[in-house]
């Protein structure tokens, strides 16, 4: 049976969208990474560039680069980004889950440039969060191409994210799952096809066009004693606690930054100065820290004391840099902190309990994903990343044990992820599913009806009776001279009263009412036990009557929302 022309068109369009967006995002990602590395070398951030500088000159350069870099980043974000803050994965999730507009491409470009400068001048932030938004930006711009697909914006953004992560990590399978697990949160066939093509394009660009080796590829033996799986579980519990500490510290530092009484553009400069002072004693905290990552995961370069010092310093400067406004992500910092902790755990716990064990590298890898996965809410992505990094099934099983316990602890004490908590701060709760979050985001002010007649309290009861008869309703909304809502007059209240009296002589019914900011979800809960014709909606600021919300409007809003989400997830 031949495919219908429309189906064939969709197949071609989906594949083409994935390929075009994937290639553009992959090249943009490669440029991002190369530019950061160039700045690290030119600004004496990388270890190799710092080797031959005199101590006094190195100290002055480090302080100047981070302080001035922080000032430039702060000014750039404040004056060229609409939100006056870096854009990241939470913004992408918000836009896709709730079908909201993204900031203008100009804001996205400025935020990306701020991330490049932050990483280039040595701020302790990650590059993968900004790369997620770089992929989002490519998808946002590509949405204007005439592919002729439904939900094109969601498709192109998902393709951009997958290609960016695939190129940067050289891990196409993990990138594919990350996009569905963290960004889309569903697995429709349409999306899966396009994202797979885009992720493969990212891998092609990284390996064929630029011939980049995998960023982190290790030859791990992966042979364990049975008792070590208990140690991996213990490590997972400890990593879960550390992940919660990291996420809560980030939130606390952001609040602390808001209380600091200095202009917002100067806050990254302050963070840069503090980071520089710490870096003079612990230079391993500078930048993303790929070199430290490699050395720690191999287990040959650092003693337990050194690992503890670097771990503590890295957590501190990461919290300060992100909390005080440097542009960057948390994915790689959480990975590096996990590697440092895992290596420290290996040097302390197994050596005390066992006469022989598998080695530092195995515990470092388990620590890496056991902290990263609860921070970004992506346990499946973490496991696939381990497999693609090591090509070893046994170490993936060990990582699975650590990841399970880490996510269990973090979910109990904190929640699903840092991104979900950032969205919760905007009033968006994704913990109970996309449908409820969508309904909580959309407000009754979008569905107002003129279904209840309105009268002034100065009107007579005869006028009220006439209005009820004309409009065939049993209730009236009563307002004052400023059109402020006073209550509802019901038909049974008119029985036996003098028709010449004014409405002001009657005690009005104080029935439930909404404001324009009441969510559809909350309206549904109220109307479950409400028997009237409609519920009044008033302005939250001044109490003026705006309109009414009948039960049919709430039902229609609910059905429209669920149908929209189901169509996005299940149509091919």
**Under a CB-based contact definition with an 8 Å cutoff, are residues 164 and 206 in contact?**
no
Instruction: Tell which wins on pLDDT, 4 or 229.
Output: 229
Length of the chain: 572
Identify the bridge partners of residue 509 per DSSP, sorted by sequence position.
Answer: 488
Between 558 and 158, the higher pLDDT residue: 158
Q: Is the pLDDT reported for residue 224 higher than 60?
A: yes
Report how far residue 486's alpha carbon sits from residue 480's, in angstroms, rounded to the nearest whole number.
7
Q: Please give the angle made by the CA atoms of 466, 467 and 471, to the nearest 5 degrees.
A: 120
Most confident of 248-257, 350-359, 457-466: 248-257
pLDDT over 90 (residue 52): no
pLDDT of residue 568 exceeding 80, the answer is no
Q: CB under 8 Å to 203, separation ≥6 — which residues?
A: 166, 167, 170, 172
What pLDDT sits at residue 222? 55
Mean pLDDT of 72-95: 95
Q: Which of 102-111, 208-217, 485-494 comes out lowest in average pLDDT?
A: 208-217
Report the candidate in 405, 18, 83 with the shortest Cα–Cα distance to residue 237: 405
DSSP assignment string, 263-311: -GGGHHHHHHHHHHHHHHH-GGGSSS-HHHHHHHHHTSS--HHHHHHHH
- CA-based nearest residue to 133, from 181, 100, 93: 93
User: What does the block give as tokens for 258?
Assistant: 């808001």
SS (H, E, C) 472-523: CCCEEEEECCCCEEEEEEEHHHHCCCCCCCEHHHCCCECCCEEECCCEHHHH
Confidence of residue 571 (pLDDT cuts 50, 70, 90): low
Pairing of β 513-515 and β 485-490: unpaired
Give percent of the chain with pLDDT exceeding 70. 96
Q: Where are the domains of the chain?
A: 5-209, 228-416, 438-563
Strongest mean pLDDT among 227-236, 438-447, 464-473: 227-236
Confidence at residue 221, expressed as pLDDT on a 0 to 100 scale = 59
Q: How far apart are the first and last CA of the chain?
A: 18
Which DSSP symbol is given to 535? E
Q: For residues 179 and 1, is the Cβ–Cβ distance under 8 A?
A: no
The number of helix segments (H) and strand segments (E) in the chain equals 22, 6
Do the domains 5-209 and 228-416 sit in the same CATH topology, yes or no? yes
Mean pLDDT of the chain: 89
pLDDT of residue 7: 73
Distance, CA of 413 to CA of 409 (rounded, Å):
6
Interatomic CA distance for residues 184 and 161, integer angstroms = 10
- 513-533 burial string, b = 16+ CB within 10 Å, else e? bbebebbbbebeeebeeeebe
What is the gyration radius of the CA atoms in the chain, in angstroms? Answer: 29
What is the pLDDT confidence band of residue 563, given thresholds at 50, 70 and 90?
confident
Encoded tokens for 97: 């889950």
- State which fold the 5-209 domain adopts: Clc chloride channel (1.10.3080)
What is the DSSP secondary-structure string of 79-115? HHSTTSS---HHHHHHHHHHTPPPPPHHHHHHHHHHH
Residue 133 CB neighbours (<10 A): 28
Which 3 state secondary structure label does DSSP give 358?
coil
Q: For residue 3, name the pLDDT band (cuts at 50, 70, 90).
A: low
Cβ atoms of 401 and 188 within 8 Å: the answer is no
Q: Does position 268 have pLDDT exceeding 80, yes or no?
A: yes
For the cut 70, the answer to whether the pLDDT of residue 405 exceeds it is yes
Average pLDDT value for residue range 438-445? 85
Quote the CA–CA distance of 320 and 118 in Å, as a whole number: 13
Residue 118 has pLDDT above 90, yes or no: yes
Q: What DSSP assignment string belongs to 240-276?
A: HHHHHHHHHHHHHHHHHHHHS-S-GGGHHHHHHHHHH
Cα 523 to Cα 288, 426, 452, 485, 530, distances in angstroms? 46, 19, 17, 18, 10
pLDDT in tens, 333-375: 999 999 999 999 998 887 777 777 778 889 999 999 999 999 9
Statement: residue 473 has pLDDT above 60: yes
pLDDT band at 220 (very low <50, low <70, confident <90, very high): low
CATH architecture of 228-416: Orthogonal Bundle (1.10)
In this predicted structure, what is the pLDDT of residue 1? 45
| Residue 273 burial (C-beta neighbours within 10 Å; 0-12, 13-18, 19+) | middle
178 touches 378 (CB < 8 A)? yes
Q: How far is it, in rounded angstroms, from Cα 435 to Cα 98? A: 9
pLDDT digits (tens, 9 = 90+) for 309-327: 999 999 999 999 999 999 9
Residues 6+ apart with CB under 8 A from 478: 454, 455, 456, 457, 485, 486, 487, 488, 489, 503, 508
pLDDT band at 34 (very low <50, low <70, confident <90, very high): very high
Does the domain formed by 438-563 have CATH 3.10.580.10? Answer: yes
pLDDT of residue 525: 87
**Is pLDDT above 80 for 300?**
no
């Amino acid at each position: 049976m031949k495919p219908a022309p429309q189906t064939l068109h969709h197949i071609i369009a989906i594949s083409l969208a994935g390929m075009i967006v994937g290639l553009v995002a992959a090249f943009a990602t490669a440029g991002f990474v190369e530019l950061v590395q160039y700045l690290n070398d030119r600004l004496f951030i990388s270890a190799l560039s710092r080797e031959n500088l005199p101590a006094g000159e190195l100290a002055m350069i480090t302080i100047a680069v981070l302080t001035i870099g922080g000032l430039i980043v702060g000014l750039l974000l404040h004056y060229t980004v609409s939100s006056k803050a870096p854009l990241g994965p939470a913004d992408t999730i918000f836009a896709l889950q709730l079908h909201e507009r993204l900031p203008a491409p100009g804001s996205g470009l400025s935020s990306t440039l701020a991330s490049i400068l932050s990483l280039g001048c040595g701020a302790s932030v990650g590059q993968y969060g900004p790369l997620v938004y770089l992929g989002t930006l490519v998808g946002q711009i590509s949405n204007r191409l005439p592919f002729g697909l439904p939900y094109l914006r969601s498709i192109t953004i998902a393709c951009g994210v997958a290609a960016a992560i695939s190129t940067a990590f050289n891990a196409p399978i993990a990138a594919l799952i990350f996009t569905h697990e963290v960004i889309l949160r569903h697995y429709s066939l349409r999306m899966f096809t396009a994202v797979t093509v885009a992720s493969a394009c990212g891998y092609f660009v990284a390996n064929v066009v630029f011939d980049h080796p995998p960023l982190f590829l290790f030859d791990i033996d992966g042979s364990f004693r049975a008792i070590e799986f208990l140690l991996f579980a213990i490590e997972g519990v400890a990593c879960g606690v550390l992940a919660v500490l990291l996420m809560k510290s980030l939130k606390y530092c952001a609040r602390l930054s808001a209380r600091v009484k200095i202009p917002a553009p100067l806050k990254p400069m302050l963070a840069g100065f503090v980071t520089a002072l710490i870096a003079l004693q612990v230079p391993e905290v500078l930048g993303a820290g790929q070199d430290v990552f490699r050395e720690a995961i191999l287990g040959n370069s650092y003693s337990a004391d050194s690992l503890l010092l670097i771990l503590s310093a890295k957590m501190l400067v990461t919290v300060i840099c992100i909390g005080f406004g440097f542009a960057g992500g948390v994915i790689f910092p959480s990975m590096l902190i996990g590697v440092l902790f895992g290596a420290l755990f290996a040097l302390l716990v197994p050596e005390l309990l066992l006469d022989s064990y598998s080695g530092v590298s195995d515990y470092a890898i388990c620590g890496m994903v056991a902290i990263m996965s609860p921070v970004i809410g992506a346990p499946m992505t973490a496991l696939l990343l381990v497999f693609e990094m090591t090509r070893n099934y046994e170490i993936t099983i060990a990582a699975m044990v650590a990841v399970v316990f880490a996510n269990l602890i973090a979910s109990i004490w904190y929640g699903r992820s840092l991104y979900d908590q950032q969205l919760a701060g905007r009033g968006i709760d994704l913990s109970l599913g996309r449908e409820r979050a969508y309904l909580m985001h959309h407000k009754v002010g979008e569905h107002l009806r003129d279904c209840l007649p309105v009268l002034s309290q100065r009107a007579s009861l005869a006028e009220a009776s006439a209005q009820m008869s004309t409009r065939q309703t049993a209730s009236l909304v009563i307002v004052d001279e400023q059109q402020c809502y006073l209550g509802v007059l019901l038909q049974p209240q008119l029985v036996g009263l003098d028709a010449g009296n004014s409405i002001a002589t009657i005690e009005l019914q104080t029935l439930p009412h909404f404001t324009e900011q009441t969510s559809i979800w909350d309206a549904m809960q109220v109307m479950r036990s409400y028997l009237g014709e409609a519920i009044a909606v008033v302005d939250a600021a001044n109490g003026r009557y705006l309109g009414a919300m009948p039960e049919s409007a709430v039902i229609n809003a609910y059905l429209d929302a669920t149908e929209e989400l189901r169509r996005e997830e299940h149509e091919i």
